Chains A and B, each alone.
Chain A
C-alpha cells in the first residue's frame, strides 16, 4: 500500500481516535456522570466501526441496546447510589499497577495481532440482515432460545435483588 489514504481509511482512523479517546475518558475522569457520557460516545463510535466493516445489523444493535438501554440503566444506578463521598478519589492506590497491567496486555495483544499474517479478502461484502435472521432461526435456534432464557433469568434476578424489603 503506502501513498494516499482512501476516504474509508481516513474515516476509520478518525472514528478509532474518537473510540480510544472516549474510552480513556471513561477510565480517567473523576466525575462518574462524565465517565458515563464518554462511555456513550465510545459505544456509538464503535457502531461507526461496524458500519466500516459492512455489518450494519450489529451497528444498529449497538446503538439501540447500549446507547438506549445499558447507559440509561447505568445513569439510573448512578443517581440512586449518589452517596456523600462519590466525587474525587475514584481510583484506588493500586493505580500504578493497573497502568503496568494495561500497557503490558496491550503490547502482547498488539504484537500478536501484527505478527500474524492474516488472509484478507479483496473487498468486504458484509453480512446482510436476511442472512443473519435466517442463520439465527435455523443453525443458531437453540443458542438463541438459551440467550432469551438468560435474559429472563437476569431480569427476574435483578427485580428480586433490587426490590425493597416488605413490598
Chain B
C-alpha cells in the first residue's frame, strides 16, 4: 500500500506549482488554469485523508464534491469576467488591466 505521506507530498507539489503559476503568469486564463491545479491538489488531500481515515466517516469525500462544484462555478464566472474585460479593453493580461490605478 502507498503510504499516506506520498499522497500528501504529491498534493503539496501540485499546490506549489499552482501557486507559482498564479504568481508568475500574466494571462488571466493561464492564471485560472493554475488555480484549477491548486483546487485539484486540495481535492486530492481531502480524498486521501478520507480514504486513509475511518471508512465510516468519509467527510473528506463529500468536501471533495463541494470543492469540485465550487471550482466549476468559479471557472464559469471568472471566464465570463475575462471575456467581458477582453471585450472592453482588448487584452486578457492582468497587468494591463489597470483602469483603477491613477
Min C-beta distance of B81 to chain A, whole Å: 6
| Nearest residue, chain A, Cβ from B83 | A162
Residue A142 is within 8 A (CB to CB) of chain B in the complex? no
Residue-wise, chain A 33-66 has the 8 Å CB interface mask toward B (1 for contact) of: 0011001001100100110111101100110011
A contact residues vs B (CB 8 Å cutoff): 1, 6, 8-9, 12, 16, 19-20, 23-24, 26-27, 32, 35-36, 39, 42-43, 46, 49-50, 52-55, 57-58, 61-62, 65-66, 69-70, 73-74, 76-78, 80-81, 83, 85-86, 89-92, 94-95, 97-99, 101-103, 105-106, 109-110, 113-114, 118, 120-121, 123-127, 131-132, 135-136, 140, 143, 147, 150-151, 153-155, 157-159, 161-162
- Which listed residue, B20, B29, B48, B68, touches A61 by the CB 8 Å rule? B68
Q: Is the CB of A32 within 8 A of B29?
A: yes
Q: Is the interface of A mostly helix, strand, loop or mixed?
A: helix
| Interface pairs (25), CB distance under 8 Å | A1-B3, A20-B10, A23-B14, A26-B21, A27-B33, A27-B37, A32-B27, A61-B65, A62-B43, A65-B68, A66-B40, A90-B27, A91-B26, A98-B23, A101-B19, A105-B15, A106-B12, A106-B16, A110-B12, A113-B12, A121-B55, A124-B51, A157-B80, A159-B80, A162-B84
